[in-house]
Amino acid sequence: MNDRVLVVGHGPAAHRLVHRLRALGHTGPLTVLGRPGTHHGLATAVLTGALPPDAADLPAHPAGTAEVHHVRAVRIDRARHAVHADDGTVHRYDTLVLATGARPRRPGPHLGGDVRALRAPARSAVGDGPVAVLGSGPYAVEAALALRRTGRDTVLVHPGERLLDGLLDPDAADLLAVRLAAAGVDLRPGRTAVEHLPGTLVLDDGEALPADTLLFDTGLRPTTDLARAAGLAVHRAVTVDALLRTSDPAVHALGDCADAPGDGWEQAEALARLLTGATPRLRPGPVTRLPAADTLAIGTPGDGDQQLTLRDPARGRYAALGLRGERIVSASIVGLPRAVAAVTQLHDRDLPVPADRLALLLGTPAALPGAAEPGPDTVVCHCATVTRRTLATAWHAGACDPAALTAATRAGSGCGGCAGELRALCQAFAREDPAAPGTGAVPAARTRPRTEQPV
């Protein structure tokens, strides 16, 4: 709790880590090298014009939280537990956290004009003209939907046959494509972009699509130079273990520069817990969620020893769950927002699936075994605890309209929510017993006996 923690990089994962370290009671010095970046999750909102660019900026930390230096780290001296910055300063640490991020991988050299990476800070909105999006992953799909919903002509181009290939099962991916098409997004599966000229995108089959702006998400290149130069194990990204430790136990890495499951936000939470002595909660990955498309992908499609599938193509709904025992190990869900939410939570917290699986997928209350049908002892008015039986008795005693029933039984005198039911009951009683006094001219009873107890 009193260690000197030094964080290199200041994107959302680093920013969250600082916030959570202090919230969880870290009392030692906390230093960050780097200017605060932007919220990754808001890039699309800036591109569509929903947010001004500065609304996506990460805020300054409250006074006293951390020492922030707007410098770039240039060298790690692991032997001396120190990091050298480009302004010549040296920053010592007990624990070092690398959060150096990643840079977007550009799709090709021939793409000119207004071309922007989706997974990079957005500095302005795109124009109102047509937009082409390159990519088949969650960022590309969500951006295409968001742009289309703001009225822009949008085309989504991807080289593979399906969206979220390998994440969603084929049926789910096909349904996702149907959803996108229904929302008005033009789809070009199996195609690559060859050339972007002002206003036009040329595909590999020669088709020319109108596109003032080209947005792409064709992968990330983790920024690992510092780690590599310091002799830390690096493959595609900085290698870390389940506790986000690099090959040097004094050095951790998180966010886009690290080869770790989950997103930077979750990793920041786990690392903050670890560094403050709490139990880290690292979720099993990978989980891909497309909230704008009511879509969820967990694990490898088909994984599990028991498969559960709901197919409702006419209403655009599909869910496939793979279970191992009672645990969810894979999921492909499209068009079932409640199932997306519930299945994610069950998976995140490693909870068993409910016995009523249909209720889980449809988001309805679980059926109760042996739940009673409405009968004479069903309470109609909960504010006064009045049963159907009591109401029937009062009706037969002459309380033949809702007002008279209320006067006789107090039903309907509280929240007023059963007014409709009282009306319906009066009609039902009359149908059941057309000769009864309630249908005739007998005046209604105005009071009920004080001694009467609710049934």
Partner 1 sequence: MTVSAAEPQVATHCPYCALQCGTRLTGARGAVQVRPDADFPVNRGGLCQKGWTAPALLDVRDRLRTPLVRGADGDLHPTDWDTALDTVAAGLRRIRADHGPDAVGVFGGGGLTNEKAYQLGKFARLALGTSQIDYNGRFCMSSAAAAGIAAFGLDRGLPFPVTDLGRAETVLLAGANPAETMPPLMRHLERARLIVVDPRRTRTAERAAVHLQPAPGTDLALALGLLHLAVVEGRTDTGYLRTRTTGFTEAWQRAAAWTPDRVERLTGVPVAEQREAVRLLADADRAYVLTGRGAEQQSKGSDTVAAFINLALALGLPGREGSGYGCLTGQGNGQGGREHGQKADQLPGYRSITDPAARAHVAGVWGVAPEELPGPGRSAYELLDALGRDVKALLVFGSNPAVSAPRAGHVTDRLAALDLLVVADFVPSETARMADVVLPVTQWAEEEGTLTNLEGRVLRRRRLLAPPAGVRGDLDVLHGLAVRLGRRADHFPTVPETVFEELRRASRGGAADYSGIDYARLDAGEALHWPCPEPGHPGTPRLFLDRFAHPDGRARLAAVDHRDAAELPDGQRPLYATTGRVLAHYQSGAQTRRIPELAAAAPEPFVEVHPDTAARAGLGDGDLADVSSARGTVRARVRLTGSVRTDTVFLPFHFPGDGRANLITNPALDPRSRMPEFKVSAVRIAPAEPA
As given in the structure block, the two tokens for residue 449 are: 């006996």
Whichever of 241 and 452 has its CB closer to partner 1, that residue is 452
Q: What is d(CA 278, CA 256) in angstroms, rounded to the nearest whole number?
A: 24
Residue 351 as a binder of partner 1 (CB under 8 A): the answer is: yes
Q: Is the peptide bond before 352 cis (omega within 30 degrees of 0)?
A: no
User: Per rule CB under 8 A, is residue 403 in the interface with partner 1?
Assistant: no
Q: Which of 243, 310, 359, 428 binds partner 1 (CB under 8 A)?
A: 359
Q: Using the rule CB under 8 A, is 397 a contact of partner 1?
A: no
Report the nearest approach of partner 1 to the CB of residue 128 (Å): 15
Beta carbon of residue 381, minimum distance to partner 1 (angstroms, whole number): 9
Site for partner 1, residues 75 to 114, rule: CB under 8 A = none
Q: Which two tokens stand for residue 328?
A: 């969810």
Residues 189, 161: contact at Cβ < 8 Å?
yes
CA distance 351 to 338: 17
Closer Cβ to partner 1, 138 or 222, answer by number: 138
Q: How far is the CB of 132 from partner 1 (least distance, A)?
A: 23
Report whether 78 contacts 230 (CB < 8 A): yes
Residues 412-431 that bind partner 1 (CB under 8 A): 413-417
Which ranges in 24-164 belong to alpha helices (H)? Answer: 43-48, 138-149
369 binds partner 1 (CB under 8 A): yes
User: First and final CA of the chain: distance in angstroms?
Assistant: 62
Minimum distance, C-beta of residue 181 to partner 1, in the bound complex (Å): 19
Region from 75-83, 156-164, 239-247, 290-298 binding partner 1, contact rule CB under 8 A? 290-298
- H or E, element range at 398: none
**From 2, 235, 314, 349, residue interacting with partner 1 (rule: CB under 8 A):** 349
Q: Which of 68, 294, 390, 394 binds partner 1 (CB under 8 A)?
A: 294
DSSP category for residue 340: H
Q: Is residue 447 at the binding interface for partner 1, with CB under 8 A as the rule?
A: yes
CB 366 within 8 A of CB 355: yes
Of residues 58-77, those binding partner 1 (CB under 8 A):
58-59
Regarding 410 and contact with partner 1 (CB under 8 A), the answer is yes
Q: Is 4 in the site for partner 1 (CB under 8 A)?
A: no
Is 366 a residue that touches partner 1 (CB under 8 A)? yes
- Residue 277 interacts with partner 1 (CB under 8 A): yes or no: no
- When binding is defined by CB under 8 A, the residue of 3, 4, 51, 247 that contacts partner 1 is 51
Q: Which amino acid, 28?
A: G
Q: Contact, 248 vs 232, CB < 8 A? A: yes
Inter-residue contact 132 to 215 (CB < 8 Å): yes
Piece of the chain touching partner 1 by CB under 8 A; list 122-130, 206-214, 340-348, 427-435: 340-348
At 440, list the tokens.
């005739």
CA angle 330, 253, 218 (to 5 degrees): 60
Q: Which two tokens stand for residue 320?
A: 């496939």
255 binds partner 1, rule: CB under 8 A: no
Residue 41 or residue 112: which is nearer to partner 1 going by CB?
41
Chain centroid offset of residue 80 CA: 42
Q: Which of 27, 124, 307, 345 binds partner 1 (CB under 8 A)?
A: 345
- Confirm or reject binding of residue 338 to partner 1 (CB under 8 A): yes
Binding partner 1 (rule: CB under 8 A), the pick from 248, 312, 348, 421 is 348
Question: For residue 122, what is the enclosing H or E element?
Answer: none
Q: Cβ 9 to partner 1, closest distance in Å? A: 17
Q: Which of residues 20-49 bind partner 1 (CB under 8 A)?
A: 23, 39, 41-42, 45
Spatial separation of the C-alpha atoms in residues 59 and 440, rounded to whole Å = 74
Q: How far is the CB of 289 from partner 1 (least distance, A)?
A: 6
Of the pair 57, 94, the CB lying nearest partner 1 is at 57
Do 146 and 292 touch, CB atoms closer than 8 A?
yes
Q: How many residues bind partner 1 (CB under 8 A)?
A: 55
- 305/321 Cα distance (integer angstroms): 10
Q: Which residues contact 40 (CB under 8 A, 6 or more apart)?
A: 11, 12, 119, 264
User: Please, what's the b/e burial string for 289-307 (b: 16 or more CB within 10 A of its CB; e: otherwise)?
Assistant: bbebbbbbbbbebeebeee
CB 47 within 8 A of CB 140: no
Q: By CB under 8 A, is residue 183 in contact with partner 1?
A: no
Q: For residue 289, state whether it binds partner 1 (rule: CB under 8 A).
A: yes
Q: Which residues bind partner 1 (CB under 8 A)?
A: 12, 16, 19, 23, 39, 41-42, 45, 50-51, 55-56, 58-59, 265, 289, 291-292, 294, 337-338, 340-342, 344-345, 348-349, 351-352, 354-356, 359, 363, 365-369, 371, 382-385, 410, 413-417, 446-447, 453-454
